[in-house]
Chain A
Amino acid sequence: MAPLLELKDVHTYYGAVHALRGVSLKVEEGEIVTLIGSNGAGKTTTLRTISGLERARSGSIKLKGKSIEAAEPHDIVRLGVGHSPEGRRVFSRMSVRENLEMGAFLRKSGPDVQKDFKKVFDLFPRLKERESQAAGTMSGGEQQMLAIGRALMAQPKILLLDEPSMGLAPILVEQIFDIITEINSRGTAVLLVEQNAMMALGIAKRGYILQIGEVTLEDSCAKLAKNPKVREAYLGV
């Protein structure tokens, strides 16, 4: 069976800058896969290319065997790719509830959507407490929860998470990672981009190391965590 998400030799440019130099990776149904790399390695670009915010100049991106590299961002959301972008990007002047409604934008409102509101509030009780508060007035951790919740409202088959731990206190980081595991255990595959390699390798099954736009290493997370090069470069030990 075709993997849920598969990138083959994807090249993306920002003008003349060659940002992704042939990235290939795959995510199987129900997996958490992490993408690790230093600043500027192309992690965010990879996610943006998958969700159609950047165009791949060559290579293929397939969702369940169906090509999506030429699709528009809104169609890619419809096909089941949820993207929680870097820097959270909540609609800061909309309330928490309105943000979640935007997440369900492509769905017909009805009992199904109401159920998902409940699910998101179950995962993030804090959001329920702040339901009518303007999103921009919440703490960074709460905004991160909202960004993930918003992406979940589209009922994604795969969730792209871009640096969910950025700028958060360590205890909150753990909480967010617990929730990512929880989301995954409910059946959503996750492609996790992280600088916090230690945490990411802790919850993911497999990992890819990205260096200057290229995948240089691919292995199970257990093995990556033991790899001396990885330990030196990304785990700081």
Chain B
Amino acid sequence: MSRISTALSAPFAPVRAYFRKHRSFGIFVGVALLSIALPLLTRVPPFDGIQSTNAWVNAFTTAAIYAMLAMGLNVVIGFAGLLDLGYAAFFALGGYTYAFVASPFTGVHLPFWPMLLAGGVVGAIFGVLLGAPTLRLRGDYLAIVTLGFGEIVPITLMNADKFTDGVNGIGGIDKPSIPGILQFTLTNPWPMYGLVIALFALIMIMIYRLQDSRIGRTWDAIREDELAAESSGVNIVIAKLQAFAVGASIAGIVGVVNAAKITIVTPDQFRFAVSISVLAAVVLGGMGNTIGVATGAFVIYLFQSILLKQLNTLVENFNIPVLNQIDFLEFQYVLYGIVLVLMMLKRPQGIFPARRRMREFAPLKIGKRGAK
């Protein structure tokens, strides 16, 4: 770290030391403060001119959903070192699980809260089902299989017309409510914002605890050297399955929340582009660093949903015929591509590299000391 940044962070040292000791509480406080600061920020120029506070809050909610997905995928890619290109499939399974039991489509209306858990369980089950036969594959091969799975799920949902209403998806999904106290609505974004932020903090705390646990250490070991981990007595199949299951269950839970937020699920919401955008967030933020990938997701989402939209309005004002034809929102895929390529070339450890990962990308000076 440079001397300047050390000097700058010096006054915060006691605070940092406190939160290092009480990290879960620190995350809780940090997320709470941020969740209050962000809406306040949208009331000052230039942000207040872009869209209403309600629209901003809605955007932050989606960004946080996206960030939770990034944190979940990071467990699989960043912790265990398994390249999963079909992560959106688990997100879809969570969403459809809730849609099946809380919409006019089936006529069943189960309450939202227990279904949060159910979404996680469904995700974990499918994670294990996909993982068990495929985790013996390595690197590229695993990526290809997960890529296939990621396509199979939305295509199945699209073609199983009878059960899913195909491309139309399932609409009118129930919004959450706290009976007698609070009913979530489409027009008031605040309750959903609160719910998502709370869940975000919970998931982040859980992931950090997991990383420090025995399981976290086994993931470090298999990522570094599978053979050495095996020789040390690590059951690598179980360890990888655990990573897959944790990642998938987070996607499942988030899928339920997402379905309840936008009240409709369609196969199109879960295509390859979603997996790639979450991957881009993980790469941008720094594989292995939970806070980093969450930030990466926030940045990418707000960039595409606010900045690109603004670009559209801006260009319309110029009234240049050729440029008017361009919908900059379509450029989000170019954006993911640029992010992935540039990051891999210039800064593969991400903007906020994980401490251990930093060592992995730093050139090792092996044997310099020499034998004496």
Which chain A residues numbered 127 to 143 have a C-beta less than 8 Å away from chain B?
Answer: 134, 136-142
Which chain B residues numbered 186 to 239 have a C-beta less than 8 Å away from chain A?
Answer: 217-218, 220-221, 224-225, 227-235
The chain B residue with its CB closest to the CB of A167 is B367
When the two chains form their complex, are residues A91 and B220 in contact, meaning their CB atoms are under 8 A apart? Answer: yes
- 18 interchain pairs, CB-CB under 8 A: A53-B227, A73-B231, A74-B233, A84-B231, A91-B228, A92-B224, A92-B225, A94-B224, A102-B221, A102-B229, A105-B218, A105-B221, A105-B232, A137-B366, A139-B366, A139-B370, A150-B232, A151-B231
The chain A residue with its CB closest to the CB of B218 is A105
Contacting residues, chain A, for B235 (C-beta < 8 A): 72, 74
Contacting residues, chain B, for A195 (C-beta < 8 A): none
**Interface presence of A106 (CB below 8 A):** yes
Chain B proximity mask over A58-91: 1 for CB below 8 Å, otherwise 0: 0000000000000011100110000111000111
**Interface presence of A237 (CB below 8 A):** no
Contacting residues, chain A, for B231 (C-beta < 8 A): 51, 53, 73, 77, 83-85, 89, 151
Docked complex Cα distance between A105 and B222 (Å) = 13
The 3 closest A-B pairs by CB, nearest first: A77-B233, A169-B371, A89-B228
**Interface presence of B22 (CB below 8 A):** no
When the two chains form their complex, are residues B232 and A168 in contact, meaning their CB atoms are under 8 A apart? Answer: no
When the two chains form their complex, are residues A53 and B230 in contact, meaning their CB atoms are under 8 A apart? Answer: yes
**Interface presence of A119 (CB below 8 A):** no
Task: Apart from A93-B359, A102-B228, A106-B233, list 16 A-B contacts with CB within 8 A.
Answer: A74-B230, A74-B233, A85-B231, A89-B228, A94-B221, A94-B356, A102-B229, A105-B218, A105-B233, A134-B364, A138-B369, A139-B368, A140-B366, A154-B233, A169-B371, A171-B371
Chain A, interface size category, equals 35 or more
Contacting residues, chain B, for A89 (C-beta < 8 A): 225, 227-228, 231
B80 CB to nearest chain A CB (Å): 15
The chain A residue with its CB closest to the CB of B359 is A93
Docked complex Cα distance between A103 and B231 (Å) = 8
**Interface presence of A199 (CB below 8 A):** no
The chain B residue with its CB closest to the CB of A147 is B228
**Interface presence of A172 (CB below 8 A):** yes
Docked complex Cα distance between A169 and B367 (Å) = 12
**Interface presence of B365 (CB below 8 A):** yes
B120 CB to nearest chain A CB (Å): 28
Q: Which of B227, B233, B369 has the most CB of A within 10 A?
A: B233
Contacting residues, chain B, for A134 (C-beta < 8 A): 359, 364
**Interface presence of B48 (CB below 8 A):** no
When the two chains form their complex, are residues A141 and B228 in contact, meaning their CB atoms are under 8 A apart? Answer: no
Chain B, interface size category, equals 20 to 34
Contacting residues, chain B, for A106 (C-beta < 8 A): 233
When the two chains form their complex, are residues A140 and B230 in contact, meaning their CB atoms are under 8 A apart? Answer: no
The chain B residue with its CB closest to the CB of A86 is B227
The chain B residue with its CB closest to the CB of A93 is B359
A230 CB to nearest chain B CB (Å): 29
Docked complex Cα distance between A5 and B232 (Å) = 19
Contacting residues, chain A, for B229 (C-beta < 8 A): 91, 102
Contacting residues, chain B, for A53 (C-beta < 8 A): 227, 230-231
Q: Which of B231, B233, B372 has the most CB of A within 10 A?
A: B231
**Interface presence of B140 (CB below 8 A):** no
The chain A residue with its CB closest to the CB of B221 is A102
A92 CB to nearest chain B CB (Å): 6
The chain A residue with its CB closest to the CB of B356 is A93
When the two chains form their complex, are residues A93 and B233 in contact, meaning their CB atoms are under 8 A apart? Answer: no
Q: Which of A73, A142, A171 has the most CB of B within 10 A?
A: A73
Contacting residues, chain A, for B356 (C-beta < 8 A): 93-94
When the two chains form their complex, are residues A94 and B218 in contact, meaning their CB atoms are under 8 A apart? Answer: no
When the two chains form their complex, are residues B234 and A93 in contact, meaning their CB atoms are under 8 A apart? Answer: no
Contacting residues, chain B, for A90 (C-beta < 8 A): 225, 228
Docked complex Cα distance between A53 and B228 (Å) = 10
Docked complex Cα distance between A77 and B360 (Å) = 27
When the two chains form their complex, are residues B230 and A73 in contact, meaning their CB atoms are under 8 A apart? Answer: yes
Contacting residues, chain B, for A73 (C-beta < 8 A): 230-231, 233
Asked if A78 meets B233 with Cβ closer than 8 Å, knowing A140-B371, A141-B371, the reply is yes
Q: Which of A51, A72, A139 contacts B367 (CB 8 A)?
A: A139
A155 CB to nearest chain B CB (Å): 11
Which chain A residues numbered 108 to 150 have a C-beta less than 8 Å away from chain B?
Answer: 134, 136-142, 150
Q: Which of B230, B232, B360 has the most CB of A within 10 A?
A: B232
When the two chains form their complex, are residues B232 and A77 in contact, meaning their CB atoms are under 8 A apart? Answer: yes
Contacting residues, chain A, for B230 (C-beta < 8 A): 53, 73-74
The chain B residue with its CB closest to the CB of A90 is B228
